[in-house]
Structure 1
Amino acid sequence: MAKDLLFEIGLEEVPARFIRTAVEQLEERMVKWLEQSRISHGQVHAYATPRRLAVLVEGVAEKQEDIEEEVKGPSRKIAQDASGAWSKAALGFARSQGVEPEQFTFQELNGVEYIYATKSSLGVETSSILSEALLSILSSMTFPKNMRWGAHEFKFVRPIRWLIALFGTDVIDLEITGVKSGNVTRGHRFLGEEAVVTEPSAYLDVLRSQSVIACLNERKDMIVEQIKALAEEKQWKIAVKEDLLEEVLFLVETPTVLFGTFDPAFLEIPQDVLITSMREHQRYFPVLNDQDQLLPFFVTVRNGDSTSLDVIAKGNEKVLRARLSDAKFFYEEDQKLHIKDALLKLENIVFHEELGSIADKVRRTCRIADGLSSALQLSQEDTNAVSRAAEICKFDLVTQMVYEFPELQGVMGEDYARRAGEKEEVAKAVFQHYQPRFAGDNTPDSIVGSLVSIADKIDTIIGCFSIGIIPTGSQDPYALRRQAQGIVQIMLGQKLPISLSELLNIALDVHESLRKMKLSAAEVRTTIVEFFGLRVKKILSENLRYDVVDAVITADFDDIASVVSRGGALMDAVTNQEDFKTTVESFNRVSNLGGKAEQFVIDEALLQEQGEKELYKAWQSILEGYHNALGQRDGHKALEWLGQIRNAITEFFDSVMVMAEDEQVRNNRLALLAAIDKDLKSFADFTKLVW
């Protein structure tokens, strides 16, 4: 027989950002306990609203499974003496397993006889262990923030107000913080009341009768469908951002979509400001036209039914009017701030106590950006734009708008710079230097924005590494991994002809000249190169096999565009060329013997056999084309050149005795193989490939 199990934790309103992980945690802990307790079950359903976390398990067995298992003990030689008496080791093993020595059996394993004990354990009634289990599951849950209430020492995300613990129709008896379990739930705070859940399968329907939609997918679908219907009715484009939809989902128990309006005069403020104010402060969805221009409407979701929606809309309009008025005031006040005055204020904002102020960071960023402009030999016009963009890239941090909405840094900077008369490419670069801001974000589409972005990010990375702030595990407070990943993406996107070592040289020189570093430049360089290696490896691993990634990374990743090109070419060859395995085997034979070379100068006069002469000739014939292809970052062409010497390598090993008795001849042949191997390894370490 089997019964359904329901466990509901009733709470005061839980912050929306905590609910998803909380209910997933509850489900995972329940499933884990059932499995560890040998209790079979059917489907598991997790439910959540702002006031409850619940899990319903179908078909839970009424009794644990019985188990019988064999446990291996010491060998028979150790377990018994010559007369057959049990040794202390055997008796100790018997006690530990709860059996008598007479119950031992013997089994042979790898030619050695061992004693085995057969343990039997009868399953207990599920109902007898549920109380302790549910209490343990509840008590072990963790949250980003906890609280205590009343005189209780117990901590939880919010005060517990009721509990349901049902196994079939039976209430599982448990109590915590003075709250006893029962079969009574609570409906919507204003539209519902207390209601009895007679059995777990009735849970959703009982809550629905009390204006609570507990199923997450059902509630989300209701919101999405209502928004979609409103958009079709009004011929609007309602911008539904997934993270906002997720938050709204956990703010309501009965969702009802409605819309309101705001004064069109507010549309004079930049669109991003209005949208941010609506989304971040009010949890509203903005309304756009077909050209993605903001319209003077907003959409919100009410936690309740459709009664008096006009009154609700007016209330929301009143609150939004105050918010937008604040934004308008901040925006107009910011217009009075000159960029040069804003830059002076950066002197008073600490970036890091060991790295100075934001102004210090800007000075380093300017120097690094100028160094990159010089290395890339930009035109004077672009060089000037890079310098100016780097100089003013952080000025909007002291504006009232960014103080109120930190997520608008860069956005406001671009707008204010443009209004202050800065060149278009400079204004755009103020925004673009933050890109990419998150996974999947765009990289800067201009050379000016790209160089300032790289300069800003590498300054942060070198600064942090030089004072010992290095990401470990999940700890990365300055988002250094994301910034390094961003540098790699920008260098690839812009196809910048600059290597990682050149970038580090420029940035380290700036840091050494402008501040005293805790660690030496050499130490910082070594650590950062390893750090970037992992970032490059992550990007390559998105499209390439692990062994292909290892092969090209081991060769070299200093030129990021080159390693990506070589990785793509090698992946194509491994997966699409039927005879490429033979080519790699020939390359690896060269590598195996080339590593034994003690000298690296090739004397053509000592090339005696036809096979070695042909190999030398074939190798020489591809060098110019091969190195040109590498220089142009054309991995496919470079690999094509290398493939042309395969037959010569095969013929060499078939007809030439490498380890000749004549020491000079032997060393000359090894030197030839070592030289070829060096060129092979400038493309990839082919020994890393797995077949």
Structure 2
Amino acid sequence: MDRELLIEIGVEELPASWLPNLTRQMAEKLDARLRDLRIAPGAPVESFSTPRRLTVRVAKIAERQEDLEETITGPPVSAAFKDGQPGPAALGFAKKQGVAFEQITRIQTPRGEYLAFHKKQRGKSAVDALPDLMSALLRDIAFPKQMNWDARLEDGRGHFVFGRPIRWLLFLYGGRVVPFTIARAANAASSTVHDVHSGALTYGHRFLATSGRAGRSIKVRSFDEYQARLAEHFVVLEHSERRDRIGRELEKHARRLGARVQQKEHAALIDEVADLVEYPGVIAGFFDPSFLELPHEVLTTTLVHHQHWFPVVTDDGKLKEAFLAVVNTQPQDERVIAKNAERVVTARLRDAKFFWEADRKVPLESRLDRLHTLQFHKKLGSYRDKAERIERLARSIAGEALGKPDAADDAARAGRLSKADLTSDMVFEFPELQGTMGGIYARSEGMREQVWKAIYFHYLPIGVEADAPPTRAQLGEAAVTWAAVSLADKLDTFVGLSTAGEKATGSRDPFGLRRQVQGAVRVLMDLPDLVGIDREISLSNLLRHAAAGVPGAAWQGDLAQASEVFAAERVRYALEQRGVPIEVVRA
């Protein structure tokens, strides 16, 4: 008879950025471990998570392991017998298997005739095998960072680390508790560390309760009861349900303000905040209308990237002096929480306004000398050196590779100023705005669109998707100069770091070399749509041209070949991401 398996690992709050991967891992690792134990799941493995729990459930697994039958090969017959009698090799093989020699058989293999033993092992009951599964599952889960919390497992390996301390363990098979213990280490430094025993208990929301004490234990016997009881105690288990609830609440509160939330643009933020809370609610806050004089990029960065709050806009897309915040509670008086949020955002915006006013007193051209104080790479010099290389390369790409000599001067100027905002107070405080603020400051100085937009967008594109920003409409008159500066920056970074000995290996790419080449590939692939230029441009030639401007770069031999192979791999990746058949890509 198949029975349900339910596991919940209760932990101290996990970072939201970890949860998507951990949720996938819980399902994948459990499925693999069940199969290793010969208890194949009879239903899909489902996993769920909130900041305080990692849950996995299988609706049906068998009551027993499958019986194990295997043939163990021993020594060759030619070496196993002496004068027709079993020799030491044959008797030793039988002894190792724990059987009399009469139970040993012979088998034919491609290498000849060998002794063998056909071993049959009856499977354990699932209840007896599942503790081993739990030990393996806890060890299998990988975290970006592990915590030592004076715990140990009785699995022969002892010391046990996890992403966060485990506070409770729900472990049910067929509605009954599977005994399991995470033990306190003998040398535990703190007296507050205790053994964690598996049970049939979970815990509700830390702060909310319909009656009694918030966060009290809840006894359950099945997944359906588990999910229903959690909902009664203000825990929404499914990420998708929390996300949808946040979307509805944002829309409702925005309508009350006579505004709307750009949910499509902020889809990633909604996904993230859904993993920050167990029972989402939304509050509205306000700031002084005078802050609307700041560039909208500064306002949205302050709200979205720093506070994880949502700006609201009017029907014509203009920012309002209000924001919406997702909270992990249902406050009786929203204004109490909103006032504290308003104090925080006001302080941030006051700083931003000061930086905005102070930075504009220093023209971008006057900031170039300060770039000498910022090192790009110890073998490649400062950012001023890099800016000068970008200037020369952007001029050459615009005039020669793109065939637009009339745009060469604007491209060169944009390239020269592209890194100037790195010395600004605004970018020091809001590093997400580098490049963007350079373009905004250039615009405020009255520079041509061909210059300020090229600076504004030069870090883009990041992805290889055809719809990744920027769009042709966003680029406007600056399409050619942007393409020249963007290519120059990315190619200089890739070529320079490659000659300096930096490499992308496996999942490690600290300098973002893959991203740099993928951005250049996307520019070249979409030149007709983005720039209006339909001509074939060799990426290999551009790489060699960029290398010519890097002091001491020897772009030849193994280095040049390896770098061009790396770039070709990025081209293949881009084509695959756009759905080009694999056989066409390989051709």
In 2, are the aligned partners of 1:397 and 1:409 still within 8 Å (CA)? yes
Query: Residue 51 of structure 1: CA displacement?
Result: 1.7
Is residue 550 from structure 1 mapped to residue 586 from structure 2 by the alignment?
yes
Distance 1:429 1:111, change over 3 A: closer
Deviation per CA, 1:118-169: give whole Å up to 9, x if none: 2111112332343343234324433212333479975332222233333323
Equivalent residue for 1:186, pick from 203, 215, 221: 203
* Runs of 5+ consecutive residues of structure 1 not aligned to the other structure: 552-691
**CA distance, structure 1, for counterparts of residue 585 and residue 147 of structure 2:** 48
The one-letter amino acid of 1:170's match is: V
Which structure has the larger Rg?
1
**Aligned counterpart, 1:195:** 217
**CA distance, structure 2, for counterparts of residue 70 and residue 535 of structure 1:** 47
Query: Residue 47 of structure 1: CA displacement?
Result: 2.6
* Superposition TM-score, scaled by structure 2 size: 0.85
SS in 2 for 1:524: helix
In 1, are the aligned partners of 2:202 and 2:220 still within 8 Å (CA)? no
In 1, are the aligned partners of 2:34 and 2:133 still within 8 Å (CA)? no
Paired positions, count: 546
**CA distance, structure 2, for counterparts of residue 377 and residue 235 of structure 1:** 47
Distance 1:175 1:380, change over 3 A: closer
Distance 1:24 1:489, change over 3 A: closer
Query: Residue 50 of structure 1: CA displacement?
Result: 1.5
Is residue 504 from structure 1 mapped to residue 543 from structure 2 by the alignment?
yes
Equivalent residue for 2:162, pick from 138, 148, 156: 156
In 2, are the aligned partners of 1:171 and 1:183 still within 8 Å (CA)? no
**CA distance, structure 2, for counterparts of residue 206 and residue 265 of structure 1:** 48
Distance 1:124 1:314, change over 3 A: same
Deviation per CA, 1:448-497: give whole Å up to 9, x if none: 11111111111111111112112121121111112112212212222454
**CA distance, structure 1, for counterparts of residue 136 and residue 559 of structure 2:** 48
**Aligned counterpart, 2:552:** 516
**Aligned counterpart, 2:230:** 207
**CA distance, structure 1, for counterparts of residue 575 and residue 50 of structure 2:** 41
**Aligned counterpart, 2:24:** 24
SS in 2 for 1:248: helix
In 2, are the aligned partners of 1:372 and 1:506 still within 8 Å (CA)? no
**Aligned counterpart, 1:435:** 460
SS in 2 for 1:148: strand
In 1, are the aligned partners of 2:10 and 2:53 still within 8 Å (CA)? yes
Equivalent residue for 1:314, pick from 339, 348, 357: 339
In 2, are the aligned partners of 1:106 and 1:114 still within 8 Å (CA)? yes
**Aligned counterpart, 2:69:** 68
In 2, are the aligned partners of 1:285 and 1:300 still within 8 Å (CA)? yes
Deviation per CA, 1:322-372: give whole Å up to 9, x if none: 222222222112111221221111110010111111111111111222332
Distance 1:379 1:77, change over 3 A: closer
Is residue 488 from structure 1 mapped to residue 495 from structure 2 by the alignment?
no
**Aligned counterpart, 2:387:** 362
**Aligned counterpart, 1:457:** 490
Higher helix share: 1
Q: How does 1:403-418 map to 2 (within 5 A)?
A: 403-418=428-443
In 2, are the aligned partners of 1:385 and 1:448 still within 8 Å (CA)? yes
Query: Residue 404 of structure 1: CA displacement?
Result: 1.5
SS in 2 for 1:237: coil
Is residue 271 from structure 1 mapped to residue 303 from structure 2 by the alignment?
no
SS in 1 for 2:385: helix
The one-letter amino acid of 2:215's match is: E
Deviation per CA, 1:192-217: give whole Å up to 9, x if none: 23123241332222222222122223
**Aligned counterpart, 2:351:** 326
The one-letter amino acid of 2:204's match is: G
**Aligned counterpart, 2:36:** 36
Query: Residue 380 of structure 1: CA displacement?
Result: 5.2
**CA distance, structure 1, for counterparts of residue 583 and residue 40 of structure 2:** 41
**CA distance, structure 1, for counterparts of residue 233 and residue 24 of structure 2:** 24
Higher relative contact order (CA 8 A, sep 6+): 2
The one-letter amino acid of 1:527's match is: A
Distance 1:90 1:290, change over 3 A: farther
Distance 1:539 1:163, change over 3 A: closer
Distance 1:259 1:451, change over 3 A: same
SS in 2 for 1:55: strand
**Aligned counterpart, 1:535:** 570
**CA distance, structure 2, for counterparts of residue 357 and residue 217 of structure 1:** 46
Over the matched positions of the two proteins, sequence identity in percent amounts to 37
SS in 1 for 2:162: coil
In 2, are the aligned partners of 1:443 and 1:493 still within 8 Å (CA)? no
SS in 2 for 1:254: coil
Higher strand share: 2
**Aligned counterpart, 1:255:** 280
Equivalent residue for 1:169, pick from 165, 172, 176: 176
In 2, are the aligned partners of 1:369 and 1:452 still within 8 Å (CA)? yes
Distance 1:106 1:431, change over 3 A: same
In 1, are the aligned partners of 2:13 and 2:51 still within 8 Å (CA)? yes
**CA distance, structure 1, for counterparts of residue 10 and residue 575 of structure 2:** 47
Equivalent residue for 1:299, pick from 290, 311, 324: 324
In 1, are the aligned partners of 2:151 and 2:161 still within 8 Å (CA)? no
**CA distance, structure 1, for counterparts of residue 150 and residue 584 of structure 2:** 60
* Superposition TM-score, scaled by structure 1 size: 0.73
Distance 1:498 1:150, change over 3 A: closer
Is residue 393 from structure 1 mapped to residue 418 from structure 2 by the alignment?
yes
**Aligned counterpart, 2:246:** 223
